C-alpha cells in the first residue's frame, strides 16, 4: 500500500486514519465534500507532503475516478451518518450511502484497486436481544440509515465476487478526540464530556443501565489497517469493531466524574423512542481473521481523550 484514498477523510474517524496512514509512510488522498467533515481535523498534518485533499462528492463518478488514480487501497468512510436524519430524509440517506458506495466500488474496480475497506455500523443489528452481537445474526434494520449500511455490505460482497476484494467493518460506539458533541451520531462520551465541562448536568434517557460497547478511535484505526492487510480469504465479509465489554451509561459517568468531581449529577428523562437497550459486540471473528483486538480500555481512552481535547 503506497497510496491510499480515504473518503470522508476530514471527518472524526477519517482524520485519525489519515494521520495513522501518513505516520506509516503511506501517501494519502482525502476525498470529502466537507458537509460534516472539517479541515481543522487535519490541521496537524495539513502540510504533510504526502497528503492531498480533494473536495468532492462520492456520488460524482468523475471526482471519485480522479481521486483513485494510482491508489492501491480505498478506505470508504464518507456517509450520511444520522439515524434521526435518515428518518426525516430517507431519500438523501439512501442516495449517499447506497448510490455513493456503488459509485466508489465501481470506480475502484475500474481502477484496479487491490482492496476496499468500508465502514459499516452496529446499527445493522437493530434490536436483537441476543448478546453479544455476532456477525452470523441476520440484519434487523430499524432505520433507513441502518438499511443503507446493510445495502452497502451487500454491494461490497457482490463486488468481491466480481473481482474487487472488500472488507466491511461494523463500528460500535466509537469515541475519542475531535468527536463533535453536536454530531448526529456522536457517542454518549462526547455529549457527556461537553456537558460536564460546562458544569451542566448530563441527561440520561432511561434508567442508565442500558449497555454500550465503547471503542476508542485509535483501536478503530488499527482495525481499518488490519482489514487492509488481512489475508485474501478475509474479503467479502463483515466484522465487528468492538471491545466485547458491556458498559452501562452509569458506569461511563462514574468514570467521567473522576475528572469532573464538582459537576452536577445527571438528570434522568424518559427513554427515547427506538432506543436500543443493549448493544455489545462479539470481537471473536475480527480477532480470528483480521488479527485485530481492541487494546484501549475505557479508562485509558477517556484519559487520552480528555488530555487531547481543549478545555
Catalytic residue ranges: 145
Rounding to the nearest 10 degrees, give the CA dihedral for residues 114, 102, 92, 189: -30
Cα 17 from Cα 83, distance rounded (Å):
23
Rounding to the nearest 10 degrees, give the CA dihedral for residues 94, 96, 102, 105: -140
CB 82 within 8 A of CB 184: yes
Q: Which three cell numbers stand for residue 208?
A: 442508565
CA distances from 162 to 42, 151, 157 (A): 35, 16, 9
Residues 6 or more apart whose CB falls under 8 angstroms from that of 304 comprise 176, 177, 216, 218, 296
Amino acid at each position: 500500500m503506497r497510496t491510499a484514498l480515504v473518503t470522508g477523510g476530514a471527518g472524526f474517524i477519517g482524520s485519525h486514519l489519515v494521520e495513522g496512514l501518513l505516520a506509516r509512510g503511506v501517501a494519502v488522498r482525502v476525498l470529502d465534500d466537507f458537509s460534516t467533515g472539517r479541515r481543522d481535523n487535519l490541521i496537524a498534518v495539513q502540510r504533510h507532503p504526502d497528503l492531498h485533499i480533494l473536495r468532492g462528492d462520492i456520488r460524482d463518478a468523475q471526482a471519485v475516478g480522479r481521486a483513485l488514480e494510482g491508489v492501491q487501497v480505498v478506505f470508504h468512510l464518507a456517509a450520511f451518518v444520522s439515524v434521526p436524519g435518515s428518518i426525516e430524509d430517507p431519500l438523501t440517506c439512501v442516495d449517499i450511502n447506497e448510490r455513493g458506495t456503488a459509485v466508489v466500488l465501481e470506480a475502484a474496480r475500474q481502477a484496479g484497486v487491490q482492496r476496499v475497506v468500508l465502514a459499516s455500523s452496529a446499527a445493522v443489528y437493530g434490536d436483537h436481544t441476543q448478546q453479544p452481537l455476532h456477525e452470523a445474526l441476520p440484519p434487523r434494520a430499524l432505520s433507513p440509515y441502518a438499511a443503507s449500511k446493510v445495502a452497502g455490505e451487500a454491494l461490497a460482497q457482490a463486488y468481491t465476487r466480481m473481482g474487487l476484494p472488500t472488507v466491511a467493518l461494523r463500528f460500535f460506539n466509537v469515541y475519542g478526540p475531535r468527536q463533535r458533541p453536536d454530531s448526529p451520531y456522536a457517542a454518549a462520551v462526547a455529549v457527556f464530556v461537553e456537558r460536564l465541562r460546562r458544569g451542566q448536568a448530563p441527561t440520561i434517557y432511561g434508567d442508565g443501565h442500558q449497555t454500550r460497547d465503547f471503542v476508542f478511535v485509535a483501536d478503530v484505526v488499527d482495525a481499518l489497517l488490519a482489514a487492509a492487510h488481512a489475508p485474501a480469504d478475509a474479503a467479502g465479509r463483515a466484522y465487528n469493531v468492538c471491545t466485547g465489554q458491556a458498559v452501562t451509561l452509569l458506569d461511563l459517568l462514574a468514570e467521567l466524574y473522576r475528572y469532573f468531581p464538582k459537576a452536577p449529577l445527571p438528570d434522568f428523562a424518559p427513554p427515547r423512542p427506538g432506543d436500543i437497550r443493549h448493544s455489545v459486540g462479539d470481537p471473536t471473528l475480527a480477532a480470528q481473521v483480521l488479527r485485530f483486538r481492541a487494546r484501549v480500555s475505557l479508562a485509558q481512552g477517556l484519559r487520552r481523550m480528555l488530555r487531547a481535547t481543549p478545555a
